[in-house]
Amino acid sequence: MLSFYVHIPYCIKRCGYCDFNTYTPTELQNGATLEIVSNDYIDAVLRELDAAPKDEVPTIFFGGGTPSLLPADDLGRVITAIKARNELAPDCEITLEANPDSVTAEKLAQYLEVGFNRISFGMQSAKPHVLAVLDRTHNPANVEKAISMARAAGFKSISVDLIYGTPGESLNDWRETVNAALALDIDHISAYALIVETGTKLAAQIKRGDLTMPNDDLMADMYLLVDQMCEEAGLTWYELSNWSKPEHECRHNIAYWQNKNWWGLGPGAHSHVDGKRFWNVKHPTTYKQKLFAGESPILDSELLTAEQIKDEAILLGIRMREGLEIALLQPHQLEVLSEYRHNGFVEINEDRVLLTPTGRLIADRIVREITI
Amino acid sequence: MPAISLAKAPQPASTNPAQIRNFCIIAHIDHGKSTLADRMLGITEVVEARNMRAQYLDRMDIERERGITIKSQAVRLPWRSSLDGGEYILNMIDTPGHVDFTYEVSRSLAACEGAVLLVDCAQGIEAQTLANLYLAMENNLTIIPVLNKIDLPNAQPEKFAAELARLIGCQPEDCLRVSGKTGDGVADLLDQIVAQIPAPVGDPDAPARALIFDSVYDAYRGVVTYVRVVDGHLSPREQIQMFSTGVGHEALEVGVISPEPLAGKGLGVGEVGYLITGVKDVRQSRVGDTITNYNNPTKTALAGYKDPKPMVFSGLFPLDGADFPILREALDKLQLNDAALVYEPESSAALGFGFRCGFLGLLHMEIVRERLEREHKLNLISTAPNVVYNVTLDDGKSVRVTNPSEFPDGKVAAVFEPIVKSTILAPSEYIGTIMELCQDRRGVLLGMDYISEDRVEIRYDLPLAEIVFDFFDQLKSRTKGYASLDYEEKGEAEGNLVKVDILLQGEAVDAFSAIVHRDKAYAYGVMMTGKLRELIPRQQFEVPIQAAIGARIIARESIRAIRKDVLAKCYGGDISRKRKLLEKQKEGKKRMKMVGRVEVPQEAFVAALATDADIEQIKAARKAGQ
């Protein structure tokens, strides 16, 4: 089995908090349009695909950037190519990340036609003042419109991404956002605490003192709130930042967390195949140049040691609903965990260690303590 | 030219005492002593112009950088007086210029018949200079007042000549005026040294008596001992004896410094020079001791010998526990050259293994620490300095406490602390603020005198503990840097002192305990608990931080349990990034200390204990390391 991630490294505008590997057309080429900078991009991706193993494909995920900026036909070429050389599993999950502003009923129907069956909208917040700080340009009303269009078009699994902890966002603002998302009767929610990445506009605004990040207590309260509201609405928690209706978990992301084999296509994309991690050159132009010159776009790789594989299994596994197998842990690690159990952060049942909601909030710390 | 070549000048061991003048220069840091000394080396031609370098006599980097002299030296300068045309040997004995080294200063003074009182005529006399001046006057030295830096545009020679005249009881016009920088007036000063300072007097036929006024460890030669011969004669290959211990050594080499060492036939009455015996540790050749002939020893030692007594104690711990052996070795090495440094191993629950070190004072402490860090590449945490307490228990037993953790838990009848007599010189406009500071530090006013129209000398008895705790910084900042301070021991006094413990989760952390006056215990507790609340990261449980006197809690804070320590996203490339971060943290973990169940980063200890200067240093080091 081999999952595919397809990176679409383009955005119309860079949001202030974002440090993803994405570019606006003019950043790539002065005065250029998206058509110009992206026209041969899919060709490059298809060349990279030639190097991938030909295992059956359980999931494909188009992320970015803004994949929905590209026409369905372009993205469809990638799906078709994968299908042609690797077999797609019968229930293959094919996800499109989409900006609510960049879809139309017609476009959505085309995406379905080329093979997509799951769509994830970047909603982020229902509050205009929060969206403004995040630099998101979409009108909150468009989210509702986009989702009903997606439903109408026939998408059977719809997700929204939310961000909490934006400067100026209150617990009540966040409650309203989660309420708005749940009111759309979506199947899946990803809710992420805002991370201030170095080098972003947001980081500069905070450094200057123009914006202030909320404290950890408010962030924690926001997390506990979204968890509670989702559970009440029938969306069950299954990974640190993800909730879904039954059978609507994102199987592609689960493949990451279970250390399955996956191949990332596109500049800066990472892959993991049989204990080896490798990643591509970061810039789209270099990426294209390499592939068109017949070279590998791989920048570097690492072969994981047994200890690293174990560490990864712990740091990924503990974030999930199924938790960690006790068999994976040493007695002294269990001893550390029993202290956390005492303080209400973990539950230990017969054969697994599970985080409670408050425990999830300190998952990294717990991982540090048991692996160091 | 008044200079005489070394070869033609009167030779060591055969110089008539009547031709010898022994003098020192009393001056404050940066009043230009080293520059004047350089000029004297040049004008007497003992150093050729092409070999001259600035601050020729300051040997250590630290001395040159800080502009202070830590160890004294003695230089033999031949000179022909332009007043009487006679040939003379001038021995210039350099003196350390800081309060911590008063005892060494006093020994240097005891080796001289006269002193040049050198004052920067843009700044006027400072407290430490005044203290040394009084010391010189008590030793009946002839004082030659000299105003330096007359070339400066802001020089006020008239004003400060009047000040000096009032202090030593001469006429303002008796003050010589020189410029070490340009050399103006320096030849005249040398002539006046010959004319005014008496020649040494001694009995050449008596058993030898030579005063050790300095003792320096040299990696190649072993200990080099600087002496002033009072009576008799010291010769190479002769057996000599240290009066205080009775131990005999062979004088392998006897010579003079001019200004490089010149081995010779010996030293006679009134002469100043060095001797090498092959001992490896300055404690076997102590400043203040008398050297005599082994076969024909003197019955009466020269006066004034005393063991150096550490006044300030602090724990020194390597930041990396693995460096402990290096620290031990470094201290051993440093002690070879520093008889005043004492240390013994100490272990702290919080800081691991280190040494409790005793110092003459704060500067001494700073210099030792700086040398350990610089010369031995050590990163050290030093605990807050404290003084020595004598605690009397209810049962009458007495305990000496050099470390707050030794403070007895039981019933304490009385606590005695060292008191110093301090002298502060400052412009009169700061009288109010200085008195306020001294009162706040439990000072007792002894008196106040105007030394000139607008400068005062204020005398206070102060507990040494108060001076040790940032008094000097406070004094400087409250007087815009104009006040200067000197102090000397004045026995001990009973104080209403208590030990304040700092508890993390109910467990006392030895490194944060302090002995303070009862009235200040609360302030200390609030300060330290507040500081720690900021410095210790949140843990998985709430951590109470308390300050306590015995069982009584006087201040409390708490670190609330941690609520969030997780990165929300973990996809694709995040996974290796996260694992790599974890691997990095595994290394960093070694720098965490467990205090009971509480994880305290080493930085927290450093920041809680460090002085502001330390923190600046740490920041600078981090910046450099980036």
Please classify residue B240 by burial: count the beta carbons closer than 10 Å to its beta carbon, then call 0-12 exposed, 13-18 middle and 19+ buried.
buried
Helical spans, DSSP H, in chain A = 25-28, 34-38, 41-49, 72-85, 105-114, 128-134, 140-153, 171-183, 201-208, 216-232, 251-257, 284-292, 306-317, 331-342, 357-360, 363-371
Q: Tell me how far apart the alpha carbons of residues B574 and B559 are, in angstroms, rounded to a whole number.
A: 31
Mean residue pLDDT across chain A: 94
What three-state secondary structure class fits A1? coil
B58: confidence class by pLDDT, cuts 50, 70, 90: low
Q: What is the token pair recorded at B317?
A: 């711990």
CA A291 to chain centre: 26
Residue B308 in this model has a pLDDT that exceeds 80: no
Amino acid at site A8:
I
Q: What is the pLDDT of residues B504-543, one digit of tens each?
A: 999 888 888 899 999 999 999 999 999 889 888 888 899 9
Residue of A nearest to B586 (CA): A372
Å between B425 CA and nearest CA of chain A: 45
Residues A120, A94: contact at Cβ < 8 Å?
A: no
pLDDT at position B50 is: 72
Task: Give mean pLDDT, residues B192-218.
Answer: 92
pLDDT at position B592 is: 65
Q: Out of A2-16, A163-177, B276-290, which region has the weakest mean confidence (pLDDT)?
A: B276-290
Contacts of the segment A137-144: beta carbons below 8 A, 24+ positions apart = A137/A12, A137/A13, A137/A101, A138/A99, A138/A100, A138/A101, A139/A101, A140/A180, A142/A100, A142/A101, A143/A100, A143/A180, A143/A184, A144/A184
pLDDT at position B625 is: 40
Contact B579 A308 (CB under 8 A): yes
Residue of A nearest to B575 (CA): A312
Residues A238, A244: contact at Cβ < 8 Å?
A: yes
Cβ-count burial B559-592 (b if 16+ within 10 Å, e if not): bebbbbbbbbebebbebbebbeebeeeeeeeeeb
Cβ-count burial B35-49 (b if 16+ within 10 Å, e if not): bbbbbbbbbbbbbee
Based on C-alpha coordinates, what's the Rg of chain A?
Answer: 21
Amino acid at site B500:
V
Q: Out of A54-68, B44-58, B360-374, which region has the weakest mean confidence (pLDDT)?
A: B44-58
Query: Which residue of A365, A367, A369 to mutate against B (max B Cβ within 10 Å)?
Result: A365
Contact A367 B563 (CB under 8 A): no
Residue of A nearest to B599 (CA): A369
Residue A195 in this model has a pLDDT that exceeds 60: yes
Å between A106 CA and nearest CA of chain B: 31
> % helix / strand / coil in chain B, to the nearest 5?
30, 30, 35
When CB atoms are compared, the residue of A316, A360, A372 closest to B570 is: A316
Chain A residues with CB under 8 Å of B566 CB are 240, 360-365
Q: What is the pLDDT of residues B112-122, one digit of tens each?
A: 999 999 999 98
Phi and psi at residue B221, to the nearest 5° = -100, -10
Please classify residue A141 by burial: count the beta carbons closer than 10 Å to its beta carbon, then call 0-12 exposed, 13-18 middle and 19+ buried.
exposed
Task: Give mean pLDDT, residues B160-182.
Answer: 90
Cβ count within 10 A of residue A241: 23
DSSP state of B91: E
Contact B566 A308 (CB under 8 A): no
Query: Which residue of B564, B565, B584, B597 to mutate against A (max A Cβ within 10 Å)?
Result: B564
B98: confidence class by pLDDT, cuts 50, 70, 90: low
- The distance in angstroms from the start CA to the end CA of chain A is 33
Phi and psi at residue A285, to the nearest 5° = -65, -45
Cβ-count burial A314-343 (b if 16+ within 10 Å, e if not): bbbbbbbeebbeeeebeeebeebbeebbeb
Q: What is the pLDDT of residues A21-58, one digit of tens each?
A: 999 988 888 888 888 888 899 999 999 999 999 999 99
Residue of A nearest to B565 (CA): A362
Task: Give mean pLDDT, residues B49-67.
Answer: 63
Q: Tell me how far apart the alpha carbons of residues A242 and A236 are, in angstroms, rounded to a whole number.
A: 8
Q: What is the token pair recorded at A315?
A: 């740091």
Residue B344 in this model has a pLDDT that exceeds 70: yes
Q: What is the pLDDT of residues B449-468, one digit of tens each?
A: 998 888 899 999 999 999 88
pLDDT at position B99 is: 53
Residues B111, B304: contact at Cβ < 8 Å?
A: no
Residues B193, B240: contact at Cβ < 8 Å?
A: no
Query: Which residue of B560, B570, B594 to mutate against A (max A Cβ within 10 Å)?
Result: B570
Query: Which residue of B538, B539, B563 to mutate against A (max A Cβ within 10 Å)?
Result: B563
Chain B residues with CB under 8 Å of A319 CB are 570
Q: Tell me how far apart the alpha carbons of residues A177 and A163 are, in angstroms, rounded to a whole number.
A: 9
When CB atoms are compared, the residue of A315, A360, A372 closest to B579 is: A315
pLDDT at position B67 is: 47
Task: Give mean pLDDT, residues A304-322.
Answer: 94
Chain B residues with CB under 8 Å of A307 CB are none
A·B CB contacts under 8 A: 95
Q: Tell me how far apart the alpha carbons of residues A166 and A124 are, in angstroms, rounded to a whole number.
A: 10
pLDDT at position B622 is: 47
Å between B595 CA and nearest CA of chain A: 16
B411 and chain A in contact, CB less than 8 A: no
Å between A237 CA and nearest CA of chain B: 14
Query: Which residue of B562, B567, B579 to mutate against A (max A Cβ within 10 Å)?
Result: B579
Contact B569 A216 (CB under 8 A): no
Task: Give mean pLDDT, residues B338-344.
Answer: 85
Q: Out of A170-179, B151-160, B231-240, B278-287, which region has the weakest mean confidence (pLDDT)?
A: B278-287
* Window 519-578 of B, Cβ < 8 Å to A: 540-541, 561-573, 575-576, 578
Q: What crossing angle do the helices spanning A331-342 and A363-371 adopt, rounded to 10°? A: 150
Q: What is the pLDDT of residues B544-558, one digit of tens each?
A: 999 999 999 999 999
* Ramachandran sector of residue B396 (left: φ over 0; alpha: ψ -120 to 50; beta: rest): left
Task: Give mean pLDDT, residues B444-449.
Answer: 95
Residue B65 in this model has a pLDDT that exceeds 60: no
When CB atoms are compared, the residue of A240, A262, A270 closest to B566 is: A240
H or E element, residue B544 = strand B543-549
Contact B568 A241 (CB under 8 A): yes
Contact A361 B564 (CB under 8 A): yes
Task: Give mean pLDDT, residues B357-362.
Answer: 86
CA B80 to chain centre: 37
What three-state secondary structure class fits B389? strand
Based on C-alpha coordinates, what's the Rg of chain B?
Answer: 28
Helical spans, DSSP H, in B388-452 = 431-440
Q: Tell me how far apart the alpha carbons of residues B72 and B33 are, in angstroms, rounded to a whole number.
A: 12
Residue of A nearest to B560 (CA): A217
Strands B142-148 and B114-120: parallel
Chain A residues with CB under 8 Å of B541 CB are 343
**Is the predicted ipTM greater than 0.95, yes or no?**
no
What CA–CA distances, in Å, run from B237 to B262, B270, B605? 16, 21, 54
H or E element, residue B459 = strand B455-463
Chain B residues with CB under 8 Å of A371 CB are 582, 586
When CB atoms are compared, the residue of B540, B562, B589 closest to A372 is: B589
When CB atoms are compared, the residue of A191, A264, A319 closest to B572 is: A264
Task: Give mean pLDDT, residues B436-455.
Answer: 92
Residues A348, A372: contact at Cβ < 8 Å?
A: no
Contact A241 B571 (CB under 8 A): no
Contact A195 B565 (CB under 8 A): no
Task: Give mean pLDDT, residues B33-48.
Answer: 86
Q: Tell me how far apart the alpha carbons of residues B247 and B277 are, in angstroms, rounded to a whole number.
A: 12
Nearest to B426 by CA among B385, B388, B460, B398: B460
Contact A362 B565 (CB under 8 A): yes
Contact A343 B563 (CB under 8 A): no
Residue B613 in this model has a pLDDT that exceeds 60: no
When CB atoms are compared, the residue of A269, A277, A360 closest to B566 is: A360
B37: confidence class by pLDDT, cuts 50, 70, 90: confident
Amino acid at site A38:
S
Å between B332 CA and nearest CA of chain A: 37
B617: confidence class by pLDDT, cuts 50, 70, 90: low
CA B416 to chain centre: 24
Residues A4, A272: contact at Cβ < 8 Å?
A: no
Mean residue pLDDT across chain B: 86
When CB atoms are compared, the residue of A220, A253, A311 closest to B563 is: A220
